[in-house]
Structure 1
Amino acid sequence: MSISVGLLSGYWFWLSLLIYLPVLGYALYRVPWSILKSNRRLQHFFLGATVFLMVMWSMRAGISPGLGIHFLGVTALTLIFGWDLAIVAGTGALLGMILIGREGWDSLPINAVCSVLLPSMVTLLVLKVVEAKLTKNFFVYLFLCGFFGAGLSAAASGLATGTVLWLDGVYTWAKINHEYIQYLPLIMFPEGLMNGIIMTGILVFHPDWVRTFDARRYIDEQ
């Protein structure tokens, strides 16, 4: 879900920048810099996740410009590091994409909103609903937040991308639906599977690495 350089009018650049900059600023304010600075293992884990995200986003498939499909991985990032570090990592990955020539500066804000901010917020919403409404259970957390949350995030990102391209008159809705929207259900399952597998591996071997997972609540108290 990535919008290519030069597709949208300048209006979308400034609107998305107006949305994203305050969120990024708040995320940077919330990041526990002292912990990140003192914990070398966390630094390596965070930087490695950012680079992995950049590499994953550089591999995409699609027919028309702006209708490319790729794995997001933002759900796992949000659950592991928290939404603030996920926003920072996603922004870093987009900047890396620009440096290697896969994206341009004019597409950065809208891609940040559609591919980083929106899926991260959807993941956070699913997490909050699960914590507030459902039993504190390891498998509930894993399947709903990891698998289902990732699929829902991919759908939200894809719908947002397609809607922006349609509203700006880049493509007709029929073309967007034919080349992109109708494939979203097929994208949701592998996105959920990939994020779920990542979360399963980390939760089994290193549950203390997952910032949004409290083993005392989800395991010890059962």
Structure 2
Amino acid sequence: MLLLTALTLLAGVLLWLDKAFWAELKQTNAPWSVYGASCCVLALLWQTDAEVLAPLSVHFLGLTTVLLLFGLRLASLLAALVCALGYWQSGWNLEHSLWLLCCAFWTLWLNSLVVWLVYLYLPRHLFVYVFVAAFLNSALALCVFLLLKALPFWQNYSSLQLTESYLIFIPLAALPEALLNGMAMTLLVVYKPQWVKTFSQRQYLDPN
């Protein structure tokens, strides 16, 4: 598990070493205040959790919206900042914070793959973007994240305990997570499409 964590964090760092990425930050689509607000909202969502089986808890993510809004590398950077804030302000232990960051990275990479597949193989239509890339993708993200989060604790609890006290809440939380991200992206592509890095008005709204 330690080796897996180290490799994941190394892969995440490699995303930020590209000079082109830092050059992109000088010409961002959204104002810097949007980045700061997004980080605060993520931190609030992650810290407003319900512990259902110590130390496992269920909370909303918001990662899919951040990914669609800013792209993979910047979304990963914001996830790292959120975990750092949790470690500093909320008393998370270091091991817990690093594992949450790994889960966030894997979830973001999976979300990014889904967005890429949607772009390649599905019609470029506003409904497809909102319903598949945002709504369904965010539900998948929550399920994957919470399952990965529980991975280190499979030996601490029986399968019955995990199922009845933790896993049962994952599908229940997936729908609100999907609604949260779906509504957020609907508002963004309607009112501020220029902020959304993964959305093109010409491709998704122009029939020609």
Whole-angstrom distance in 1 between the partners of 2:129 and 2:27: 29
TM-score of the aligned structures, taking structure 2 as reference length: 0.92
Q: CA deviation at 1:86?
A: 0.5
Whole-angstrom distance in 1 between the partners of 2:38 and 2:173: 21
Residue equivalent to 1:7: none
Q: CA deviation at 1:129?
A: 1.4
TM-score of the aligned structures, taking structure 1 as reference length: 0.86
Residue equivalent to 2:114: 126
Whole-angstrom distance in 1 between the partners of 2:164 and 2:20: 41
In the alignment, structure 2 segments of 5+ residues that lack a partner are none
Residue equivalent to 2:174: 188
1:98 aligns with 2:87: yes
Whole-angstrom distance in 1 between the partners of 2:3 and 2:138: 28
On the 8 A contact 2:61/2:142 being kept in 1, the answer is yes
Whole-angstrom distance in 1 between the partners of 2:68 and 2:130: 10
Q: Secondary structure at the match of 1:71?
A: coil
Q: CA, structure 1 residues 211+160, in 2 after alignment: closer, same or farther (shift >3 Å)?
A: same
1:67 aligns with 2:48: no
1:24 aligns with 2:21: no
Cα RMSD, aligned residues only: 1.9
In the alignment, structure 1 segments of 5+ residues that lack a partner are 1-11
On the 8 A contact 1:97/1:103 being kept in 2, the answer is yes
Residue equivalent to 1:165: 153
Q: Which amino acid aligns with 1:149?
A: N
Greater shift, 201-210 or 178-187, is seen at 178-187
Q: Which amino acid aligns with 2:144?
A: A
Counterpart of 1:112 (choices 91, 94, 101) is 101
Q: CA, structure 1 residues 211+149, in 2 after alignment: closer, same or farther (shift >3 Å)?
A: same
Q: Deviations over 1:2-57 (max 9, x none)?
A: xxxxxxxxxx3443122222223323526632342465953221122112111111
Q: Which amino acid aligns with 1:147?
A: F
Q: CA, structure 1 residues 220+78, in 2 after alignment: closer, same or farther (shift >3 Å)?
A: same
Whole-angstrom distance in 2 between the partners of 1:109 and 1:30: 25
Q: CA deviation at 1:187?
A: 0.9
Q: Which amino acid aligns with 1:196?
A: G
Residue equivalent to 2:46: 57
Whole-angstrom distance in 2 between the partners of 1:209 and 1:41: 5
Q: CA deviation at 1:65?
A: 1.9
Residue equivalent to 1:217: 203
1:34 aligns with 2:23: yes
* Structure 1 segments (4+ residues) deviating >3 Å: 37-41
On the 8 A contact 2:86/2:97 being kept in 1, the answer is no
Greater shift, 14-23 or 208-217, is seen at 14-23
